[in-house]
Structures are given as structure tokens and as C-alpha cells.
Amino acid sequence: VWNKDAVTITALFRTNFRMDFPFDLQELPAFAVIGICCGFLGAVFVYLHRQVMLGVRKNKALSQFLAKHRLLYPGIVTFIIASLTFPPGMGQFMA
């Protein structure tokens, strides 16, 4: 609803949450730890991806092969990810 006089947010279910402070003080350190862990995991991913790409560049035969067949590397990565996350396969063990 784009009318400034109308209420635009409607609760679907009644809750007993306190509205004075949306977070408990004990939750904030947990959120900070989650943020730090995700930051480190992101940095590790960037580092490992750089190492893989430098390894591919150093290996001349692999580099030339991937230059000729440009869609092979993304195809292999897509196949591996799809195989791991497909629900009847390994994906059934994921949340």
C-alpha cells in the first residue's frame, strides 16, 4: 500500500516479542562471531581461488587446453555443484 495514512506492515501471526529493543544483548556477541567467521571463510575462499587460478596459469598445457575449450571449465564446475546439491543425490543431506 502506497498510502501514507494506511498501515503497510501487517503481522500474519501474533507473537509475544518485545518491541523496545529488537535484539537481546546476549545475541550480539553471537552475531559478531558469525560475522567474523564468515569474513575469514570469505578470505580463505578468495585465497584458494587465487591459488587455483595461478596454478592453472603456470601449467601451460592445462592453460592452452582451457583456452581452446572455453566452456569446459565452467561446465565441469557447474556439473560438480549440481551433482552435490541435486535433491535426490547428495543434496538430500543438506538442510
R_g of the chain computed on alpha carbons = 24
CB 89 within 8 A of CB 83: yes
* pLDDT tens profile 1-60: 455 666 666 777 887 777 777 777 888 899 999 999 999 999 999 999 999 999 989 999
In this predicted model, what pLDDT tens digit does every residue of 72-93 receive, in sequence order? 989 999 989 888 888 787 777 7
